[in-house]
């Protein structure tokens, strides 16, 4: 069983960065090129080696194998053999590794703010929304919300569900949505960044909406690139 509390790496951190710092320690585990992208792929669930290679275009087989070995050694990834009829080996995140979901999604929100929508030469995986909507989800802004929403964005159709403060995403068009919205990726980026108010997008014809505009507005309050609350203030606190 993979070690879910790999405490034996502190010495390595001190040698590599010459400082005692949890960020330096974390980068020793996931800072190599491709490592965090392997984690990104496994957030969706267990995958075969061939699935990982397909989801990471540009990675060489020897580098991918080396990254998987390293992540296994650090208790982030583990291998598991599926029983028949599958009878194949898959890689999956350990409990310790799954805690990186929060980290990956925070980086994704931060990066998306300056990445911009895909250009003509950019490839977008068909299942991009399975990670994108959980990354955008802000449970504080979504407090009290529940519903089912269909978003047809570019060539991808996704159904997003909110139940008890938790988000679920499926590919395809679900039944009985609270709204059904169609728009392109550029509009998606502008809505998620807050640069384009949802009601304006509908009024300008950038969104074809079957449903209530207020519900559509509420959705993009709950799914956005907006920075999350940090428990810090520049104002001195009296004690």
CATH number at residue 50: 1.10.10.10
Query: Which residues are bridge partners to 89 per DSSP?
Result: 81
The residue range of the domain holding 94 is: 8-98
Whole-angstrom distance, CA of residue 77 vs CA of residue 92: 6
Whole-angstrom distance, CA of residue 165 vs CA of residue 157: 22
Mean pLDDT over residues 6-27, rounded?
A: 66
Beta strand segments in 26-122, E:
77-81, 89-93
Tell me which of 52, 79, 98 is where a domain ends.
Answer: 98
Q: CB neighbours of 202 closer than 8 A, spacing ≥ 6?
A: 209, 213, 216
Q: Could you report the per-residue pLDDT of 51-84, keeping only the tens digit for each?
A: 999 999 999 999 999 999 999 999 999 999 988 8
Mean pLDDT over residues 207-226, rounded?
A: 96
Is the same domain home to 65 and 144? no
Query: Which residues are bridge partners to 181 per DSSP?
Result: 151, 209
Instruction: Please check whether residue 37 lies inside any domain of the structure.
Output: yes
Mean pLDDT over residues 194-214, rounded?
A: 97
Q: How far apart, in Å, are the Cα atoms of 58 and each of 31, 70, 130?
A: 18, 19, 22
Q: The CATH number of the domain where 163 resides is what?
A: 3.30.1050.10
pTM of the model: 0.83
Mean pLDDT over residues 89-99, rounded?
A: 96
Instruction: Please check whether residue 236 lies inside any domain of the structure.
Output: no
Whole-angstrom distance, CA of residue 210 vs CA of residue 24: 49
Whole-angstrom distance, CA of residue 66 vs CA of residue 113: 31
């Amino acid at each position: 069983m993979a070690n879910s509390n790999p405490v034996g790496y502190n010495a390595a951190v001190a040698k590599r960065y010459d400082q005692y710092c949890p960020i330096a320690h974390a980068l020793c585990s996931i800072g190599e090129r491709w490592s965090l992208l392997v984690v990104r792929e496994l957030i969706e669930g267990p995958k075969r080696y061939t699935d990982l290679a397909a989801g990471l275009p540009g990675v060489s087989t020897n580098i991918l194998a080396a990254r998987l070995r390293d992540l296994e050694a650090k208790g982030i990834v583990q291998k598991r053999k599926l029983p028949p009829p599958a009878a194949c080996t898959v890689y999956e995140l350990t409990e310790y590794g799954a805690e990186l979901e929060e980290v990956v999604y925070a980086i994704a929100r931060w990066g998306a703010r300056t990445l911009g929508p895909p250009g003509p030469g950019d490839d977008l995986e068909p299942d991009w929304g399975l990670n994108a909507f959980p990354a955008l989800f802000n449970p504080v802004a979504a407090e009290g919300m529940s519903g089912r929403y269909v978003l047809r964005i570019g060539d991808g159709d996704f159904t997003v569900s909110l139940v008890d403060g938790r988000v679920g995403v499926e590919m395809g068009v679900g039944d009985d949505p609270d709204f059904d919205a169609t728009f392109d990726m550029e509009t998606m980026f502008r809505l998620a960044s807050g640069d384009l108010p949802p009601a304006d997008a509908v009024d300008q014809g950038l969104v074809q909406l079957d449903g209530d505009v207020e519900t559509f507005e509420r959705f993009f309050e709950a799914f956005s690139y907006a920075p999350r609350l940090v428990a810090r203030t520049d104002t001195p606190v009296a004690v």
